[in-house]
Chains A and B, each alone.
Chain A
Amino acid sequence: MYNVIQLLVKYGAHILFVVLEIICFTLIVNNNDPQKKIFLNSSNILAAKIEEQRNNIVEYSNLKNLNDSLLRQNANLIENLISIDYSNDNVPEPDSLLLQYNLIPSKVINSTINLRNNFFTIDKGSREGVRPDMGVIESHSGLIGVVRNVSDNFAHVISLLNRQTRISCTVKNRRGHGTLMWNDMDPLRMSLESIPKHEKIEVGDTVITSGYSTMFPRGILVGKIESIKVPPGSNSYSVSVKLFNDLTSVKYVYVIQNIYAAEQTLLEKEVVNE
């Protein structure tokens, strides 16, 4: 008995500490949901990790094939989406337009995001049909940029996050079109300039590509309008657009091959030259 009392006197504070902490943690685990979940899962984390690792190794061998087929499927789906957009348009388009765009799936192998002028490098080049001035998208709702120059197997893409970027865009279900530019250093936002002041647009509207160029077909979703300003003395809105996609984590992209691009640019050039 004497020993027990002595022990308590000597280590009482430490024992009290342990007892109090045990009470606290019992309370935490029993009364707070997030901690409870973590506590219950902690025992499974190790097992899950091992299983996952094994899966990674086993599946790694046929991952590449799987990926390629998925990319191809995706490309087909987006091609279909683009043609559906055309057939839903108020102005009936000739059938031949449905075949106008062809997507080349490709992988990003180098990218910058933190510079004032950012670029991507993708692993498809002139051998697969990539040419300068072709548009690049991530999905049906996400622009990436425009091809600048190509080698046999690679292409250099001007990212949206670049001072040179000028993409003709419009607002879904509204009239008027403007130019998409990157003015701030924010990788999630861009600005849409020179939409005339008399057109009615609202915060929350969806910005889509206008199709007034050979690079992008009409109707690729770009982003949502976040704020609208009219600079004093200006005749047009200055609109801040929040992009749908996150350009900082792009892995797979599609190059848009416009079959009639050469024909269109040739025609337009003739007019300019006259």
Chain B
Amino acid sequence: MNKYILPNILRIIIIFIAQVVIFKHMTFNLDNKIFVHFIIYPATILLLPIKTPRAVLMIIAFIFGLLLDVFYDSIGVHAAALVFTAYVRNIIIAFIEPFEGYNINDVPTIKNLGIGWFVYYMSIALFIHIFTYFSIEAFTFVYFFEIILNSIFSFIVSFLVIMLIQLIFRPKY
């Protein structure tokens, strides 16, 4: 278990810096209506080992989200969405469990569980996160149509970025 701690801490730090320094400034809008955000930071929570206890996931998500909110000037929004994602992560993992089940030490990577499983897992979890994020940001479902549009477009770009990073670096842990 211990060998997972250092790579994950490193990854969390790197993704945090990347999100704040690079992807935060890549936000653009289509037609002045659809706001496209690059939201890659959920990968920190989603790439933690499969058997990580839920409570640990949520505490990491909470702290990480709050730190991110300091940079986004939106105290609580990212934290709330990320805690929610951490909460439903294990449900998603259980839902798409492969036929032979998980090993106790499995890490959700392409190498361990195959690209099909990874795409499935990452797309469901990421879309849930992005949709939650935009919903909390809008804080009301009056703008449901805008929320859905923002979510779909942001999901596409964020998912592509995460998959590219995964395919290029092919992390073991």
With a cutoff of 8 Å between Cβ atoms, the chain A residues found around residue B53 in the complex are 13
When distances are taken between beta carbons in the complex, the residues of chain B under 8 Å from A27 are: 66, 75-76, 79
Find residues 1-58 in chain A having any chain B CB closer than 8 Å to their own CB. Answer: 12-13, 16-17, 20-21, 23-28, 31-32, 34-35, 38-39, 42
Report yes or no: A28 in contact with B76, Cβ–Cβ below 8 A.
yes
Interface residues of B in 66-97 (CB under 8 A from A): 66, 74-77, 79-80, 83-84, 87
On whether the beta carbons of A28 and B80 are closer than 8 Å, the reply is: yes
Residues of B near A12 (CB, < 8 A) are 55
Chain A residue with minimal CB distance to B75? Answer: A31
Does A13 contact B58, Cβ atoms closer than 8 Å?
A: yes
| B-chain residues with CB within 8 Å of residue A24 when the two chains form the complex | 62, 65, 76-77, 79-80, 83
* Candidates B77, B83, B87, B140; contact of A28 at CB < 8 Å: B77
Counting contact residues on chain A (CB < 8 A from B), the size range is: 10 to 19
A31 to B59, CA, bound (A): 21
List the B residue with the shortest CB-CB distance to A26.
B76
Query: Could you tell me if A20 and B83 are in contact, using CB atoms closer than 8 angstroms?
Result: yes
- Interface residue total, chain B, C-beta cutoff 8 A: 20
B54 within 8 A of partner (CB): yes
Q: Which residues of A contact B136 (CB under 8 A)?
A: 28
Contacts of A13 in B (CB 8 A): 53-55, 58, 87
Residues A17 and B58 in contact, CB atoms below 8 Å apart: yes
In the assembly, what is the distance between CA of A42 and CA of B66, in Å?
Answer: 25
Q: With contacts A21-B84, A24-B83 known, what are 20 further pairs, Cβ within 8 A?
A: A13-B55, A13-B58, A16-B58, A16-B59, A20-B58, A20-B59, A20-B62, A23-B76, A24-B65, A24-B77, A24-B79, A24-B80, A27-B75, A27-B79, A28-B76, A31-B76, A32-B76, A32-B77, A35-B77, A38-B139
Q: List 23 A-B contacts (CB under 8 A).
A: A13-B55, A13-B87, A16-B55, A16-B58, A16-B59, A17-B54, A17-B83, A17-B84, A20-B83, A21-B84, A23-B76, A24-B76, A24-B77, A24-B79, A24-B80, A24-B83, A25-B80, A27-B66, A28-B74, A28-B139, A31-B75, A32-B74, A32-B76
